[in-house]
Amino acid sequence: MDGHKIRNTVLLGHSGSGKTTFAETMLFEAGAIKRRGSVEDGSTTSDFTNIEKERGNSLFSSLMHAHWKDSKINIIDTPGSDDFIGEVVSSLKVADTALVVLNATQGVEVGTEIIWEHIHKNQTPSLFVINQIDHDKSNYQNTLEQAQSRFGNKVVAIQYPLNQGAEFDTIVDALRMTMYKFGADGGKPEKVAIPEDQIAKAQEIHNQLVEIAAENDEGLMEKFFDEGTLSEEELTKGLRIALANGDFFPVFICSATQNKGSGRIMGFVNDVAPTPADRKGAFLADGSRLSLDDGNTSLFIYKTLSEPQVGMVSYFKVCSGELKAGDELVNASNRGAERFNQMFVAEGKNRKAVENLKAGDIGVTVKLKSSHTNDTLSVKGTDRKITPIEFPAPRMRTAIQPSGKGDMEKLMKSLQSIAEEDPTLIVEQSKSLKQTILHGQGQLHLDLIKYRVEKVNNLNFGFEKPKIAYRETITRSADTHYRHKKQSGGSGQFAEVHMRIEPYYEDMPLPADLTIRKEMEDELPWGGKLVFLWCIVGGSIDAKYINAIKKGILQKMEDGPLTGSYCQNIRVSVFDGKMHAVDSNDMAFMLAAGNAFKTAFNEARPKLLEPIYDVEILCADDVMGEIMGDLQTRRAMIVGMGAEGHYQKVMAKVPLAEMYKYSSTLRSLSQGRAKFKRAFAEYAEMPADVQARIVAQQEEVMA
């Protein structure tokens, strides 16, 4: 289908807002499905995986489509939990309109605000759907006012309920200046005149919509000034421009479970929502934008998923040109060629083969050899790369331990395969910690990974508390020497090294009592520095042994004396020593230097440094006390407090050692009405009592 007749929509909202049910109703209203499934029965089109059916909520984004009039509407349903925010941001990458679903009983929830940040970042045209108007505790006005206070005065109601709650059956539509009356089973409503007592309210909203439309087109503005109103066609034109420019966020209402109101929303999407051709095109890595009308075919893979008996399934958007069955495209990242032997349009788990997909459309293919999420594929000779999706940084980490001793290799292969599909999962094999660490968005995210590995690959493993990547340093200077001497027949080994170690800081003066012959400054791979001063006068140690001595020091710095952690920010001055004409060699000086460094380190009042994270928490007023109390138990240092919109903001510096499972704790403390983000800040000295406990634990392990 031509890009001018395509609407790419994504359903977004907090968990429990009713997105999946709304998607089901949209498909039913359009005739794409014969009967509506339900979340409770596990029969919806979008939540088709076994775990989604078991849990009763969305865990993956799901692509569907429906035809409305002469248009094709692609619908992407997304999870509401922020543990699966990766599914949201990837879907936003290819959507041209966001439908933000709000729960009329809960108002604007924290998950919606997290999503709005990504909508704003992507500059995606958006409309709001206040769902569950039929609920006994529905509060339309409160939900609307919250949306307007948090997302700005561009949020404008197009509809409002004449009645809400269990008796809900009537919607006043101020855009079309008509009223929709629904039967008990919902579906297509009867159009009736707006009651006299509602005319003034509806007309006021209508006039506001006319002004919004006129403001976005000079010709419409002139006509509005001349005639004071606009025709329905002109109104549609102006609102389409306003919506595409982000100057207008319309608000609709519905009951998805009763199928009341969804058809009108589908009609608005068809008439007013921007097409791919209305958008400016995908951003390219060089800063330019790719025109939909560019004749050279390019597509962007926004999601990959491994399915049993199928293999790798790739979801993509055709960003220019036309993709035909049998076409061969080149991956801009690895230059590998991929042949598209099969293409499909999706209806949840069901797929229908097609022969071609035109620019702007979203499709599915299978069994690509070496292409994954965030890859751009284009016709040979076309050198272009669409800017990748920026996935959120992980917020939770855990170590893993396979149940069988020989299962680690299989487990790693399985996890790496999932990480290729899910860029919000990072699999780290830590050399320093001697653990395999999973980094994810939250406990539910990691639990899903575990479920997939165990069900699909029949591999069992457990989670355990991850170790902390401490750093070791010193707090005062120390001089020492070490003689390495070994004789076992033939040539032996001999080396003696005298050295001074000091805490290093930027711009520290050189030692006044030593003669500096050579200065070397190394940025260490794990962070921090080693400054090495060669201060040998008179040739007591030949300069050819500098590298061996330095290597011996670095080896000890990789395995610190306190906990075996990396050492950093130390200056070492080698100022004297002895060598033997026959028995001295690189190995001897490497061993002597390493042992001298270890001795000096223990004499220089060693100190453990721990990773500190900047943590920012947004929470509701009534749970702030509990959250603050919990932070105090985590050795947090509060660095700021304030308000941000409807929420209280807490900014703190928290040791990583105290952040284990914080995502789950915060959700429990706040009943899901808080969010947080974290970022590495620095390494800082830990309190003496904590250090003593950590060192004692390490000694027990080593005993």
Question: Within this chain, do residues 103 and 151 fall inside the same structural domain, yes or no?
Answer: yes
3-state DSSP of 202-231:
HHHHHHHHHHHHHHCCHHHHHHHHHHCCCC
H/E stretch holding 697? helix 688-702
CA angle 39, 41, 42 (to 5 degrees): 60
Tell me, what's the pLDDT at 556? 95
Question: Within this chain, do residues 127 and 46 fall inside the same structural domain, yes or no?
Answer: yes
Contact 695, 563 (CB under 8 A): yes
- 600 within some domain: yes
Residue 369, burial from CB neighbour count under 10 angstroms (0-12, 13-18, 19+): exposed
Judged by DSSP in three states, 541 sits in: coil
Give the residue carrying structure tokens 């349009």: 345
- 388 within some domain: no
Residue partners of 413: CB distance under 8 A and separation at least 6: none
Alpha-carbon distance values, 60 to 84, 306, 486, 614, 674 (Å): 8, 12, 64, 30, 22
At 7, the amino acid letter reads R
Q: Which two tokens stand for residue 488?
A: 């076992």
For 174-290, strand residue ranges (E) read 178-181, 190-192, 249-253, 282-283, 289-290
Question: Within this chain, do residues 451 and 494 fall inside the same structural domain, yes or no?
Answer: no
- 383 within some domain: no
CA–CA dist 543, 546 (Å, integer): 5
Alpha-carbon distance values, 374 to 299, 325, 613 (Å): 10, 22, 29
Alpha-carbon distance values, 465 to 99, 461, 633 (Å): 39, 13, 18
Contact 127, 252 (CB under 8 A): yes
Packing angle between helix 586-603 and helix 546-557, nearest 10 degrees? 50
Question: Within this chain, do residues 163 and 302 fall inside the same structural domain, yes or no?
Answer: no
**What 8-state DSSP symbol labels residue 656?**
G
Question: Within this chain, do residues 26 and 75 fall inside the same structural domain, yes or no?
Answer: yes
Tell me, what's the pLDDT at 147? 95
CA–CA dist 95, 284 (Å, integer): 17
- 406 within some domain: yes
Domain boundary pick from 225, 248, 271: 271
DSSP string of 75-96, one letter each residue: EEE---SGGGHHHHHHHHHH-S
Q: Which two tokens stand for residue 221?
A: 């503005």
Tell me, what's the pLDDT at 662? 93
- 692 within some domain: yes
Report the CATH number that the domain containing residue 662 is assigned in CATH.
Answer: 3.30.70.240
CA–CA dist 110, 648 (Å, integer): 12
Question: Within this chain, do residues 242 and 292 fall inside the same structural domain, yes or no?
Answer: no
- 55 within some domain: yes
Contact 484, 493 (CB under 8 A): yes
CA–CA dist 616, 634 (Å, integer): 14
Residue 286, burial from CB neighbour count under 10 angstroms (0-12, 13-18, 19+): exposed
Report the DSSP beta bridge partners of residue 365. 314
Question: Within this chain, do residues 115 and 256 fall inside the same structural domain, yes or no?
Answer: yes
Domain boundary pick from 271, 290, 319: 271
Phi, psi of 486 (to 5 degrees): -145, 130
| CA 325 to the chain's CA centroid | 33
Contact 29, 259 (CB under 8 A): yes
User: Quick one: which of 297, 287, 323, 299 has its CA closest to 380?
Assistant: 297
Report the CATH number that the domain containing residue 302 is assigned in CATH.
Answer: 2.40.30.10
User: Quick one: which of 77, 96, 80 has its CA closest to 3?
Assistant: 96
Question: Within this chain, do residues 140 and 243 fall inside the same structural domain, yes or no?
Answer: yes
Tell me, what's the pLDDT at 489? 64
Question: Within this chain, do residues 331 and 476 fall inside the same structural domain, yes or no?
Answer: no
Domain range holding 411? 396-467
Question: Within this chain, do residues 435 and 403 fall inside the same structural domain, yes or no?
Answer: yes
- 54 within some domain: yes
- 507 within some domain: yes
Judged by DSSP in three states, 191 sits in: strand
Provide the residue count of the chain: 703
Report the CATH number that the domain containing residue 192 is assigned in CATH.
Answer: 3.40.50.300
**What 8-state DSSP symbol labels residue 334?**
T
* Sign, CA torsion 26/28/32/35: positive
Question: Within this chain, do residues 202 and 64 fall inside the same structural domain, yes or no?
Answer: yes
Q: Which two tokens stand for residue 700?
A: 């027990």
Domain boundary pick from 343, 378, 413: 378
Spans of the chain below 50 pLDDT: none
Question: Within this chain, do residues 51 and 153 fall inside the same structural domain, yes or no?
Answer: yes
Contact 195, 219 (CB under 8 A): no
Count of the separate structural domains present in the chain: 5
Alpha-carbon distance values, 145 to 13, 104, 157, 600, 646 (Å): 17, 11, 10, 66, 12
